[in-house]
Amino acid sequence: MLSKNNSNTPVIIIIACSAVIALAVAYLFYYKQTAASKKAPGGQQGAVTVRTMTAEVQTLHDYVNTNGEIKTQSSIEVFPDNGGKIVETYVSLGTAVKRGTVIAEIDPSEPGMQFAHSRVYSPISGTVTAAPLKPGTKVTTSTAITVIGDVANLQVNANIPERFVAALKPGLKANIILEAYPNEVFTASVSRISPVVDSTSRTKEIILTFDANDPRINAGMFAKVTLFTLDYEGFPVIPASCIVTKGGKEFVYTVNADGETVSRREIQTGETVDNITQVKSGLSAGEKIVIEGQRVLSDGSKINDITNGIKKPETTEQAKQEEKDGKK
């Protein structure tokens, strides 16, 4: 048995060597085919499919997002002149009143003592913005029966985090979105700024006044506020995603005059807002840059720009010659 196994050893070795040689040949063939596929006819490197854009000078508007509440610009709580029990109310939530309108009547009588009813009057003209207390409620001279406000002139009260306080100033513009009208943008401006920072919330309150009255806006509504704080202007802007960082330096690929090759350009960037970045040096307005496909480019690479959605076929030397002959 032992001599028989030894007689088969050369055959096994020959088969193993043949398999190794076959694998080596297959790998070499695959490598050559892969390398060839990366070359266009004529020995030129194949073009990289990219998308491009033209750099333009734009102003970036930095902003702060916060929440706010719609309130009347002027409102006042209504207090009775005498304490007692409310025996009648003559208004309800949303009632329009004039100065001097009777709001309620108070019975100041006590056990064993009868007094005439005391009337409560509206101190200003406006609208009842808080539901009046119900008859039978006992009140004192420090109990607010209701609130009267001027609903024709509304404002937004919002709180800004302390880290953004340095950018606050009257006149800053804001976009307001209300939950009732999620697709509508109302504009407002900062009219007042609190002189103090709240020590608990670490925020500062601002008051925004609507640029135009709109009957759809009601006191008490919840508001989403986008307050524009700083403007960065004077430089071309590009998508931050198209910037390539290497060795601590930042680069973009600009399209050369032939429209078919690119150059790697070192740039100095400025401020970034919503992934749009200023370029302070290294790029001029009007230059075309690569915004997709730049990760596989190198200086001098050929490109196939499909920005308009149509991929241009790669032109072979023969096709170029035929095109040239056809023009004669």
For 196-246, what is each residue's pLDDT tens digit?
Answer: 999 999 999 999 999 998 989 988 899 999 999 999 999 999 999 999 999
Beta-carbon contacts of 317 under 8 Å, excluding residues fewer than 6 positions away, are: 41, 42
Give pLDDT tens digits for 65-79: 999 999 988 889 999
| 161 within 8 A of 106, measured Cβ to Cβ | no
* pTM strictly above 0.75: no
Please give the C-alpha separations between residue 301 and each of 11, 62, 142, 256, 307, in angstroms, as whole numbers: 52, 36, 81, 10, 17
Q: For 224, phi and psi rounded to 5 degrees?
A: -100, 120
Q: Integer distance in angstroms from the first to the last C-alpha of the chain? A: 84
Q: Which two tokens stand for residue 10?
A: 């050369």
Torsion angle of alpha carbons 118, 127, 99, 71, nearest 10°?
Answer: 110
Q: Give per-residue burial for 112-139: e unless 16+ CB within 10 Å, then b.
A: eeeeeebebebbbebbbbbebbeeeeeb
Section 304-325 average pLDDT: 58
Q: CA neighbours within 13 Å on the CB side: how many for 211?
A: 11
